[in-house]
A and B are shown apart, each in its own frame.
Chain A
Amino acid sequence: MNRSYDGVSDIAFEKRGDRTVLTNRYRSGNSRISAQIPTKDNTPLYFLVATGGGFIEGERYYNVVTLEKDAHAILTTQTPNYIYKCPNGKTTSQLNEVMVKENAFLEYYIDEVIPYEDAIYYQKTFADIKKGGSLILTDGLTAGWSKSDTPFLYNKVDLKTKILYDDELVFNDYLIVDPRQEDMSELGLFEGYTNFNSVVIIDENFCTDWIKRSKEALDTKDFEGIYGITALEKYGFVLRILGRSSHNNLGIMWDFINFYREDIRGLKHLELRKNQR
């Protein structure tokens, strides 16, 4: 496994008494795992770090997270995921595999991808949630980075997320962005916006009332863009945002996340202090 990947992280948690403890912490190559960061409700929080501050052309990353039953942990990437310039047309990829066992709760905050000019990036996240387990999962994509500040100069990005709950498919999300072939500013695509963010929450207790309540919890005073919240076929709901800056999108994204954490789960307010641009 290690030989074929440029970075691997494999992290596991278990509930012992009333605490969740780290039971496995394996890393190799360019992937690092931070020391535990304190949180207000003593939920273990770790940062997943790429040592180069991003991924380089052709690199492959593999992250595994396992929560044993009843555990609760928070994982997040440290910065937006930069996919550095790819002049040779090689695909950079990341595979995330998540296992949430019975009644465990994983918060997995993957930052948005910022592909540089010509980048080709493929990301696949697969989550297997057992009965009673729950998950908050984020991801996103921007118009990328280029010297000339021209949006969407990257080559291609595939973001795929598949979630099973109690062995049944509940979420199959696949965004294929192909700026070489299409005008990203058109209606139906990014529509003139530059930042896409997504939050999906899986919880078997979900009821449509949460949609109404979560919308009320969003502070949209300064938000510039469009967003929507909708119910999955089963066991959860999703927030999608198109806006003009990461900072702007993150505001309502975190209102949504904290609505679920505080109002539904009775947890304390969470703020991940990162240097967001």
Chain B
Amino acid sequence: MTENSLNIDKLSLLEVFQVCDSTFPIGTFNHSFGMENYLSDRRIKKAPEFEIWFKNYFEKQFKYSEGLLILLCMQALKNNDFEKICEYDKIITMSTLATETRNGTKLIAKQMIRLLKGMYGDIKTIVRYEEEIKKKKCFGSPAIVFAVFAFEKGIDVEDAFILYGYSIASTMVQNAVRAVPLGQMEGQIILHNISERLFSVYEKIKDLDEEYLGASMIGIELAQIRHESQESRLFMS
């Protein structure tokens, strides 16, 4: 590898990392993905309960939804099969039962597209995805936008999965530090534990096909539904 291409690779990595940074303004700080419902009925009070819910969010929902979506989309991009991506967009949307969570992710996807277009101009597949969303043929999923961007930047599938998982986890920990509240140190320890877990989650789904896409777990899902009628709240979902 020449020095020049190495530099490009490192810049690409940094560019993807920037999108994963919890300060990347796509509005994820507005969403607790159901966690806030456990705060409202006091089932999450401190770090230990938060960590259990957080682990299960990754093991039972993220794994089969956004996690598997990244893997499937990267494969579809490799095959140059945009139709498949639109199909996955539909499956993931129709698998997300809670209206608020579904609409929240659509908004995040929209923001992400806007930012990436502003920063990088027109990335062909992202422009195409945006058009499909505008035509209401697709709904918009941040994991799909991320997969497209990571693919463009030459990131491999496992790295894309780990990076996106980390990005979701770090934002959710920031949200928990504010809302539960957790201590900053507790938050970082929990984030590190999840980072380690992401590798085993990847191993569990790396050979799964779209049949599993969108599988979820009742407790997590019900909290997301119940958040919709919660009286006091900091988060949009």
Residues on A close to B: CB < 8 A? 169-176, 182, 186-191, 196, 215, 226-233, 238, 240, 242
Contact = CB atoms under 8 A, between A and B. Distances in A.
Q: How large is the interface on B (under 10, 10 to 19, 20 to 34, 35 or more residues)?
A: 35 or more
A196 B98 CA distance: 17
Given A172-B214, A182-B59, A188 B94 contact: no
Interface stretch (B49-57, B112-120, B161-169): B49-57
Contact of A230 (B56, B94, B225): B225
Contact of A188 (B52, B64, B100, B229): B52
Nearest to A226: B222
B43 interface: yes
Interface of B: 38, 43-44, 49, 52-53, 56-57, 59-61, 64, 90-91, 93-95, 97-100, 102, 139, 212-223, 225-226, 228-229
B104 to A, nearest CB: 13
* Shortest 6 CB-CB contacts between residues of A and residues of B: A188-B56, A228-B225, A174-B215, A187-B53, A172-B95, A188-B219
Chain A binding surface, main DSSP class: strand
Nearest to A158: B215
Contact of B218 (A182, A230, A240): A240
A174 B91 contact: no
A176 B225 contact: no
A242 B219 contact: yes
B214 A187 contact: no
Given A174-B64, A175-B217, A188-B57, A242 B97 contact: no
Contacts of B61: 188
Given A226-B222, A227-B222, 7 more contacts: A173-B216, A182-B59, A187-B49, A187-B53, A188-B219, A228-B229, A240-B218
Give the one of A189, A191, A230, A242 with max B CB within 10 A. Answer: A230
25 contacts: A169-B91, A172-B213, A174-B214, A175-B216, A176-B64, A176-B215, A176-B217, A182-B56, A186-B56, A187-B43, A187-B44, A187-B53, A188-B56, A188-B219, A188-B223, A189-B219, A190-B219, A191-B219, A215-B229, A226-B226, A231-B99, A232-B94, A233-B94, A242-B218, A242-B222
Contacts of B49: 187
Contacts of A173: 95, 97, 216
Contacts of A182: 56, 59-60
Nearest to A183: B52
A233 B94 CA distance: 7
Contacts of B53: 186-188
Give the one of A176, A188, A196, A240 with max B CB within 10 A. Answer: A188
A140 to B, nearest CB: 10
Contacts of B102: 233
Contacts of B57: 188
Contacts of B213: 172
A229 B217 CA distance: 16
B215 A175 contact: yes
A227 B213 CA distance: 24
A170 B53 CA distance: 28
Nearest to A170: B94
B95 A188 contact: no
